[in-house]
Structure 1
Amino acid sequence: MGGGDAPAAYEPGAVPIREAATVALIRDARVGGGVEVFLQHRVSTMQFAAGMSVFPGGGVEPRDYHGTRPWRGPAPQWWAERFGIDVDRAAAAVRGVARELFEETGVLLAEPAGATPLSTSPAPPPPPAPPGVAERRALDAGHGDLDSLLAAHDLVLSAHLLRPWDRWTTPVGPPRRYDTLFFVAALPEGTEPDGGTSEARAAEWIRADDAAQAGILGHLGMLRPTLDVLSDLASASDVAEVLATPRAIAPGGN
């Protein structure tokens, strides 16, 4: 073997904690009551949670802090108070989780920006065109930001479809650590998520109670935060109950 410097000693306590956000996308179960959740089964080559079943999401990026476009729903201060974080981070997390959801599933939490101006035409103008596949891929590749994309299509973020749910921090030990904000979101009417992300080998709708049971029995690999969220959702009778459930989120995360 050739010479060279020995690799630096790994110091678990020195690993930086990165900001992240993830969202459990839910819909009413087709049969028997309860809710279904959209799960992605990650590829085995991922640097974090390889091979695990997860919700859509990822790191909150610097571009998520640049947005200034108003949204529909609670103001950033409300989100900050629920998660126990500062206002700037709360706003970035809401944008970031919506961006990740769009990049990974094609579901865009957005709606027309405002009242349609009066027109002399006998028929109302058509609604804004949604972003296309090319724009989704560009955003996923790191080009542009969510606010600019929404502005280009005269849309605003539908933050009212989101709810704060939990917060978890990766314990000391792994080479990557995250302070992750967990959201839940109702699937917007007329939309359907896909498995169009290279980070997952497959994706599916599955009842929350079935997913939680599969996680407990080891039939699906998942990290504890994912299992805890699924266990919470498993007891809900429908999406309306989930959205109306008040949540007390531990300061600083679990």
Structure 2
Amino acid sequence: MTRPEPATASAPESVPVREAATVALVRDARVGGGLEVFLQHRVATMQFAAGMSVFPGGGVEPRDYLGARPWLGPEPEWWAERFGIDTDRAAAAVRGVTRELFEETGVLMAEPDPAAADATRPAQLPGTAQLPGTAQLPGPAERRALDAGEGDLDSLLAAHGLVLSAHLLRPWDRWTTPVGPPRRYDTLFFVAALPEGAEADGGTSEARATEWMRADDACTAGTLGRLGMLRPTLDVLADLAAAADVAELLDTPRAITPGGR
């Protein structure tokens, strides 16, 4: 009589699909036209996409669903329609990708709350360190605390008299991890231009290095295997490489596949 095979902990099909959001942060190339994209080269110990070159982002967390403050830009219903998801998830994804971008790069897509700003002061561009009045962008300690899971984005912005700049983001694509890996994600891809005055850094433990790279060079490096990339990253990079500049990219209409790819 044969001995029965031990039961597996879970079948590949039973792996839960988690919500995630990522953003391709771009700027105009310094020379030669086209644009540059901010890439993170992940450490080899990550549970997902270990060692791969990726855009900033991560899982959408329960705290991203807590926000209720209005933002500047399209309403959650608009984002929900573009991505083919419900309104609550769309709102959480916009908050989540903004939070992840701040945690991982220091770039905060926020600006003074127009309802509280002193109308006699000049407008301040998002990303600059000093804001109208006595308000300032959150500091390094607050960034680290948010990254450690303390608090939520809406509360942090409210404490500084800021509102989320959703108008700086664009919905771009949606991909779902196929069956097989021990972790699966339904990932919403955004695109955003680096706000004037902001600087992206490598202050995340998830990356061994970060860099600005021409989108066409990054696409070539991924295609030839010089940089490890998952297919969604490479696919988005191909879109970025086709744009003449950031303005053209942001004006490009997008039709996102219902249910993702």
Same fold (TM over 0.5): yes
The separation in 2 between residues aligned to 1:154 and 1:181, in whole angstroms, is 28
Q: Percent identity?
A: 80
Question: Which AA in structure 2 matches 1:149?
Answer: L
Unaligned ranges ≥5, structure 1: 1-5
Is structure 2 residue 164 aligned with structure 1 residue 164? no
Is structure 2 residue 225 aligned with structure 1 residue 224? no
The separation in 1 between residues aligned to 2:222 and 2:132, in whole angstroms, is 48
Give RMSD over aligned pairs.
Answer: 1.5
Per the alignment, residue 157 of structure 2 pairs with 150
Q: Partner of 1:204: helix, strand, or coil?
A: strand
State the shift of 1:9 in Å: 3.9
Per the alignment, residue 247 of structure 2 pairs with 240
The separation in 2 between residues aligned to 1:153 and 1:9, in whole angstroms, is 46
Q: TM-score, normalised by structure 1?
A: 0.94
Is structure 2 residue 61 aligned with structure 1 residue 54? no
CA 1:80/1:15 → structure 2, altered by over 3 Å: closer, same or farther?
Answer: same
Unaligned ranges ≥5, structure 2: 1-5, 122-130
Per the alignment, residue 86 of structure 2 pairs with 86
The separation in 2 between residues aligned to 1:214 and 1:117, in whole angstroms, is 48
State the shift of 1:241 in Å: 0.6
Q: Partner of 2:50: helix, strand, or coil?
A: coil
State the shift of 1:8 in Å: 3.5
1:76-225 aligned at under 5 Å gives the runs: 76-114=76-114, 115-116=117-118, 126=133, 128-225=135-232
State the shift of 1:128 in Å: 1.9
CA 1:19/1:126 → structure 2, altered by over 3 Å: closer, same or farther?
Answer: same
Per the alignment, residue 31 of structure 2 pairs with 31
State the shift of 1:10 in Å: 3.9
Q: TM-score, normalised by structure 2?
A: 0.91
The separation in 2 between residues aligned to 1:192 and 1:127, in whole angstroms, is 22
Q: Partner of 2:49: helix, strand, or coil?
A: coil
The separation in 1 between residues aligned to 2:11 and 2:120, in whole angstroms, is 63
May I ask how many residue pairs the two structures share in their alignment?
Answer: 245
The separation in 1 between residues aligned to 2:192 and 2:92, in whole angstroms, is 17
